[in-house]
């Protein structure tokens, strides 16, 4: 998938790379990926035809059916059931059917997590890999499986060696955050990558998913897109664990420092220089345009916040944009109410909207009056209920046979008390 994303962003590589990819998937009998490659290539390159394609599909279907029957047959034998589910999931994942593999891994994990083990950690990692591969599929990738394994790791229920504990905790935390990034949930991804369990202990121990230097890029971009200024300082700039990760990616460190220091020219320059490379990343490529848009929008909002008036010509220089592009972008932010301003198109000036203090004061007084009326009405209703002897009464079976305390029919409603 990494190679495919790279080729899609550099079409000139297709003629040389596509045939090699097709040969690879034919060797692994990956019919799903073969279909994807030939459809993406629009026509099958000469010499890359697969005459046995239909026969291989039948063979894979027969194996899937056999695996499904085995899972059903072993469902009452816990040890064999776990093995059958994992084997079935592995076969499907190897053939690029991650969404179906996810379901088998999930069934195995529900039984594995009753007793913490290295196998349960490995199965959670397989779930994460499925989440990264089959982003569009309807998979309910929850945090509870990951959190459960991390708690077991940190309580030394699986590993005794600190290096193993920290490595696996970093893998699970970073992997779960990567799944959030893949589905476009930048806030959840940023919180995951900046979590205290996500450290350089990850190293290059999980190349199938991500490396420690990837975490610095993913976490930095997601933090810029999703965190408030205060959170950016607390969770990123002052986070010792994430500082260590940023040491692996100096460009990302510069980008974050420049953004926080409001040096937008340097910030945009770093962003533009690294964009072509980041677009080649198979995980970032899926949502990069949205990520980029959010970062630039936040920077513009932050730029204008201290001012009553801003020269758009100077602002265009700061963001390395043409005046026309800047005006279009700012107009969108004003329409979406992210910036409270209006544009003087003739003089190319942004002017902050001044609040009407008289109207605001009147609205506040009106709201306070309505709240007072509600409070008085509620108090009068309470008094009326008490005068009518309407209140909660214990049930006659309150102490009977260990039953839960009930409420008799003579009571009205408890919501008023």
Question: From the CB of residue 50, how many other CB atoms can be counted at a distance below 10 Å?
Answer: 17
Tell which CATH architecture fits domain 307-352.
Answer: Orthogonal Bundle (1.10)
Mean pLDDT of all residues in 231-251: 95
Integer Rg of the chain from CA: 29
Which pLDDT score, from 0 to 100, does residue 399 have?
A: 44
The CATH-assigned architecture of domain 159-299 is Alpha Horseshoe (1.25)
Q: What is the average per-residue pLDDT within 67-85?
A: 94
- Residue 291 banded pLDDT, cuts 50, 70, 90: very high
Q: Name 310's bridge partners.
A: 350
DSSP code for 15: H
- pLDDT bracket for residue 389 (50, 70, 90): confident
- Give pLDDT tens digits for 222-234: 999 999 999 999 9
Q: What's the confidence (pLDDT) of residue 409?
A: 39
pLDDT at residue 403 above 50?
no
State the pLDDT confidence band at 139, using cuts at 50, 70 and 90.
Answer: low
- pLDDT above 90 covers a percentage of the chain that reads 48
**pLDDT reported for residue 407:** 37
Copy the structure tokens of residue 241: 């664990």
Burial category of 7 from C-beta neighbours within 10 Å (exposed 0-12, middle 13-18, buried 19 and up): buried
| pLDDT, mean of residues 7-15 | 83
Mean pLDDT value of segment 194-217: 94
Contact, 223 vs 235, CB < 8 A? yes
Query: What's 118-143 look like in SS3?
Result: HHHHHHHHHHHHHHHHCCCCCCCCCC
Q: How many CB atoms lie within 10 A of CB 250?
A: 10
Domain ranges of the chain: 159-299, 307-352
Contacts of 122 (CB under 8 A, 6+ apart): none
Q: Do the domains 307-352 and 159-299 match in fold?
A: no
Tokens at residue 297, please?
């929008």
Where residue 144 falls among pLDDT bands split at 50, 70, 90? confident
| 52: pLDDT strictly greater than 80 | yes
177 neighbors 169 (Cβ within 8 angstroms): no
Is the model's pLDDT at 164 over the cut of 90?
yes
Q: Residue 314: pLDDT above 70?
A: yes
pLDDT value at position 345? 80
Mean pLDDT, residues 228-248 taken together: 95
According to the per-residue pLDDT averaged within each range, which of 150-154, 339-343, 352-356 is highest?
150-154
H or E segment and range at residue 14: helix 14-27
Return left, alpha or beta for 404; rule: phi > 0 is left, psi -120 to 50 is alpha, else beta.
beta
Cβ contact 285:5 at 8 Å: yes
Tally the C-alpha atoms within 13 A of residue 315's C-alpha that lie toward its C-beta.
25
CA distance linking residue 181 with residue 219, whole number of Å? 9
Task: Please give the model's pTM, rounded to 2 decimal places.
Answer: 0.78
Residue 42 reports pLDDT greater than 60? no
Of 148 and 57, the one with more pLDDT: 57
Q: Residue 137's pLDDT band (boundaries 50, 70, 90)?
A: low
pLDDT higher than threshold 90 for residue 307: no
């Amino acid at each position: 998938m990494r190679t495919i994303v790279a080729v899609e962003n550099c079409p000139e590589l297709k003629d040389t790379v596509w045939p090699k990819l097709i040969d690879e998937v034919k060797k692994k009998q990956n019919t799903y990926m073969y279909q994807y490659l030939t459809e993406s290539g629009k026509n099958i390159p000469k010499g890359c035809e697969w005459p046995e394609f239909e026969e291989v599909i039948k063979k894979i279907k027969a194996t899937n059916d056999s695996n499904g029957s085995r899972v059903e047959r072993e469902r009452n034998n816990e040890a064999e059931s776990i093995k059958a589910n994992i084997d079935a999931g592995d076969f499907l994942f190897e053939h690029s059917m991650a969404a179906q593999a996810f379901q088998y891994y999930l069934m195995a994990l529900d039984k594995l997590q009753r007793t913490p083990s290295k196998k349960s950690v490995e199965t959670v990692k397989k779930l994460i890999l499925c989440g990264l591969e089959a982003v569009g599929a309807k998979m309910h990738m929850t945090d509870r499986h990951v959190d459960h394994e991390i708690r077991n790791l940190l309580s030394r229920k699986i590993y005794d060696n600190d290096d193993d504990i920290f490595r696996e905790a970093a893998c699970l935390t970073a992997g779960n955050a990567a799944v959030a990034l893949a589905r476009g949930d930048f806030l959840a991804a940023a919180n995951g990558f900046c979590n205290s369990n996500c450290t350089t202990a990850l190293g290059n121990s999980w190349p199938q998913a991500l490396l420690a230097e990837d975490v610095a890029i993913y976490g930095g971009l997601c933090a810029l897109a999703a965190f408030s200024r205060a959170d950016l300082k607390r969770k990123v700039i002052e986070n010792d664990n994430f500082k260590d990760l940023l040491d692996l990616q100096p460009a990302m460190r510069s980008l974050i420092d420049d953004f926080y220091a409001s040096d937008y020219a340097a910030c945009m320059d770093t962003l533009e220089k690294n964009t072509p490379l980041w677009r080649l990343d198979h995980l970032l490529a899926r949502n990069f345009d949205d990520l980029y848009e959010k970062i630039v929008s936040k920077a513009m909002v932050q730029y204008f916040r201290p001012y009553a008036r801003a020269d758009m010509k100077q602002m265009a220089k700061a963001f390395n944009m043409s005046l026309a592009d800047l005006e279009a972008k700012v107009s969108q932010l004003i329409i979406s109410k992210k910036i409270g301003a209006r544009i003087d198109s003739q003089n190319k000036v942004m002017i902050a909207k001044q609040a009407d203090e008289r109207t605001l004061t009147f609205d506040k007084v009106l709201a306070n009056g309505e709240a007072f009326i509600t409070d008085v009405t509620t108090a009068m209703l309470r008094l009326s209920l008490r005068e009518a002897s309407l209140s909660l009464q214990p049930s006659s079976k309150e102490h009977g046979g260990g039953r839960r305390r009930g409420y008799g029919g003579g009571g009205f409603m408890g919501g008023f008390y």
